[in-house]
Structure 1
Amino acid sequence: MSTITSNGPGHDSHRWGLRRSSSEQYLRELLKQADIEINGHHSWDLRLNDPNAAEQILARGSLGLGESYMAGEWDCDRLDQFFHRLLKARLHHQVRPSRALFHILRARLLNRQNSRRAWQVGEHHYDLGNAFYRSMLDSRMTYTCGYWKDARTLEQAQEAKLDLICRKLKLEPGMRVLDIGCGWGSFMSYAAEHYGVECVGVTVSREQTAWAQQQYPHLPLEFRLQDYREVQGQFDRIVSVGMFEHVGRKNYRAFMAVAHRCLAEDGLFLLHTIGTREDAAGSDPWMDRYIFPNGELPTLSQISSATRGLFDVEDLHNFGPDYDRTLMAWYDNFRAAWPEFREQLGDRFCRMWTYYLMACAGAFRSREIHLWQWVLSRDGLEGGYDRVS
């Protein structure tokens, strides 16, 4: 009996407490490398609300960090600053649980972005509700990085980005343009209104298609609820803005083959995509589960390899820091509009969405991820390409 008693609930509780204390101490030492304190006084410091949170974070990595925040187990006054410091110190490479390794292996072996699964991100993320996105985005519903070079507001930055793309594509009246992943039609409407072109756009979001068709009946625009692999026809120009992140490594070559097939001999193709400097083999596990199912950020070498023999690279432009500023503007709009959606979506969603926007802002600020615009031609432009900025 004495042996049973000594190993009973009191003993287990003591052992659990030691383990919990050890986890918190290890997490404290880990975060110190990024000048982040537990329960410190800086805006970027982590405050533990649940003593079990440290063990969850260490055991489950990114997924544990995000889910424990959603559950209210820890807080931070400025999550964007927290992630900036965490990623700049590359602490995410020091916590690699088995679940993350499984996620990487699955991304390498499986085609998680095949034609059947491609529709999942539309249903899960983009079909969240047009009213919600309208409250967060600019008036054209542009859900990609703005261009802040001479802009002071989100509206100005998004219009500057759209105009930059039009000028890079050297659009002329009467041209026929394909937009792969057209979203709510922001580029198509701008290009038609300001450059006199006609556009065909494809998206896997029913909400986006319905909103765009209702919004722009007066413009020469066609919106199709269609996977990019099904696109047919010839176009003078092709653009894809913020969609390539959903294509996946096993489909990069197929995506480029579609663009090559549909582009006129003397045409130009502009690819606007988030990218990463290191092969991440799939998206962050938390982002994959809660925000962008089946997403994957490409590297420069992966895109270059996918274009080999199909396209010449005329121009490559990196303005990733502009995405940090864009995300912070979206966050401000989201917080201002949140009272309107609190009853419908709930506080857990609010914490999830805050985590998503702030984690991405910190990632761009740390230069862990980038924003690239590629200008591609089929056979190289005779005389070269005059760069636009």
Structure 2
Amino acid sequence: MSESTSKLETARDASRTTVGAGLWTRPVQALARKAGITINGDQPGDIQVYDRRFFRRSLLGGSLAFGEAYMDGWWDAERLDECLYRLLSINADNHYPTLSAMMVKLRALLFNLQAASRAFQVGEAHYDIGNDFFRAMLDQRMVYTCGYWPYAHTLDEAQEHKLELVCRKLDLKPGQRVLDIGCGWGSFARYAAEHYDVHVTGLTISKEQAELARAECRGLPVEIRLQDYRDCNDTFDHIVSLGMFEHVGYKNYGEYMDVARRCLSDDGLFLLHTIGKYTPTLKTDPWIARYIFPNGQIPALRFITRAIERRFVLEDLHNFGPDYDRTLMAWYRNFHAAWPQFSEQYGERFYRMWKYYLSSCAAAFRTRELQLWQFVLSKHGVASGYRRPAY
């Protein structure tokens, strides 16, 4: 008997065992059917249950427990991204509100989870887990944000096209000074310095990122600082922020924009690249908050525009959210292919956690609940009018 056949039989046995426990199984099965999923079915997006406790745990604990049950090996799906896409398409987590989801929202309302005193927590929890690990998963430039795919065929091309698009939108000129808020491993800083002869100052809250970014940018006009954005007081010709705003928090959006305005020259441009939510709520997925991005919060458009008002002129808004689905699945394939070299170091539970993270995020962009926005902002308006450059 093959391993896959054995697992399927185990799943069916678990399902038969729980037939009498309809209090837990029937609501879960009904919700799955609504999403076009069959428990222990034979389609790639179907859920295979390996532990009968899965039903009760998922029903009572919602998305947090559902993800934890996957990490613990209680269930699986051949195409995890497809399974999660179907569930997200029907807003499955909203059918049975849970205490964990309410507590995450309540904490966001009552506390400033992204205060300066907590700024470095996400760096330690997520970005510092290992540069070699991220190098294996990402493209050759180690860009940990959405690629730009209209004319790309590979992840490397998509990320290079994104960096080039950003440089063109800012209309970079030789000798200009650029601030990169949330510089990651220095991918934008290196690209802009090499191709546009600008000086870049990058800010990160990750020690591992800062160390590698300095090494990658050695010999270039690039300065990498281990510094919170609130502590920056220099003036720059342009500002760019790629995939950092998701860590700012709605209580700090105004201060973030004040810092950007303070650091931007009067005739400069500020490009803000961020994930955004279709639904204008403060809700944060409790599983993501606990296991992937502590203190993270995806902004809704209305909260960003409120923070922009009276501080910046909105010159351009570009949405290419579907490209993030493709980017995440490319990361997933790289991660899966490279896993044998990391399995002993990180362990099986981490492997399942990371699979769930990448697949669930890809699914969220596929439903269009998550978007990817690039804002181009100026302090006083571009006198002759801003025109988005062609790529």
TM-score (norm 2): 0.94
Partner residue, 2:35: 34
Q: Which residue of 1 aligns with 2:82?
A: 81
Q: Secondary structure at the match of 2:299?
A: coil
8 A Cα contact 1:135 1:334, kept in partner: yes
C-alpha distance in 2 between matches for 1:137 and 1:242:
15
Residue 259 of structure 2: aligned partner: 258
Stretches of structure 1 that go unaligned for 5 or more consecutive residues are 1-15
Q: Secondary structure at the match of 2:338?
A: helix
What root-mean-square deviation, in Å, do the aligned CA atoms of Structure 1 and Structure 2 show?
A: 1.2
- Counterpart of 1:148 in structure 2 is 149
1:283 alignment partner AA? T
- Provide the residue aligned with 2:49 in structure 1: 48
Tell me whether 289-298 or 83-92 shows the greater mean CA deviation: 83-92
- State the 4+ residue runs in structure 1 displaced beyond 4 angstroms: 16-19
Letter in 2 for 1:166: C
Q: Is the 8 A contact 2:280 2:301 kept in 1?
A: no
Question: Which AA in structure 2 matches 1:274?
Answer: I
Given the superposition, is the C-alpha separation of residues 237 and 19 from structure 1 closer, same or farther in structure 2, using an over 3 Å criterion? farther
Count of paired positions: 374
Asked if the contact 1:76–1:82 (Cα under 8 Å) also holds between the matched residues in 2, the reply is yes
Give, as a single letter, the amino acid of the residue that structure 2 aligns with 1:363: A
Task: Map 1:263-302 onto structure 2 (within 5 A).
Answer: 263-302=264-303
Q: Decide whether the 8 Å contact of 1:283 with 1:294 is kept in 2.
A: no
- AA aligned to 1:273 is T
> What secondary structure sits across from 2:128 in the alignment?
helix
Within 5 Å, give how 1:217-236 maps onto structure 2: 217-236=218-237
What code does the residue aligned with 1:281 have? L
Q: Structure 2: which amino acid aligns with 1:298?
A: P
The answer as to whether partners of 2:280 and 2:302 remain within 8 angstroms in 1 is no
For residue 116 of structure 1, give the secondary structure of its aligned residue in structure 2. helix
Does the 8 Å CA contact 1:310/1:378 hold for their aligned counterparts?
Answer: yes
Mapped partners of 1:357, 1:235: distance in 2: 35
1:6 aligned partner: none
Q: Percent identity?
A: 55
Q: Do the aligned partners of residues 201 and 218 (structure 1) sit closer, same or farther apart at CA in structure 2, a change above 3 Å counting?
A: same
Distance 2:369 2:37 in 1: 18
Listed one character per residue, the Cα deviations across residues 352-377 of structure 1 (whole Å, up to 9, x for unaligned) are: 00000000000001101000000000
Distance 2:337 2:355 in 1: 12
1 CA distance for matches of 2:97 and 2:248? 25
Letter in 1 for 2:366: R
Q: Give the deviation of 1:279 after TM superposition.
A: 3.0
- Whether the aligned pair in 2 keeps the contact of 1:30 and 1:91 (CA below 8 Å) is yes
Partner of 1:96: 97
* Paired position in structure 1 for 2:4: none
Q: Give the aligned partner of residue 7 of structure 2.
A: none
Alignment partner of 1:171 is 2:172: yes
Partner of 2:311: 310
Kindly indicate whether the alpha-carbon contact (under 8 Å) linking 1:282 and 1:294 is maintained by their aligned counterparts in 2. no
Q: Which amino acid aligns with 2:295?
A: N
Q: Which has the larger radius of gyration?
A: 1
Partner of 1:352: 353
Alignment-mate amino acid for residue 360 of structure 1: C
Post-superposition Cα deviations, 1:195-241, rounded to whole Å, max 9, x if no partner, equal: 11000000000000001111211100000000000001100000000
| Cα deviation 1:136-194 (Å, max 9, x = unaligned) | 11111100000001000000000000000000011111110000000000001000111
Q: How many angstroms does 1:18 deviate by? A: 7.9
Match of 1:369 in 2: 370
| Structure 1 range deviating more: 118-127 or 90-99 | 90-99
Query: Cα 1:202–1:282, aligned 2, differ >3 Å: closer, same or farther?
Result: farther
Q: SS of the residue aligned with 1:239? A: strand
Distance apart, 1:282 and its partner CA = 4.4
Q: CA deviation at 1:83?
A: 1.5
The residue that corresponds to 1:9 in the other structure is none
Contact 2:332 2:355 (8 Å CA) reproduced: yes
Q: Measure how far apart 1:386 and its partner are.
A: 0.7
Aligned residue number for residue 388 of structure 1: 389
Amino acid at match of 2:323: D
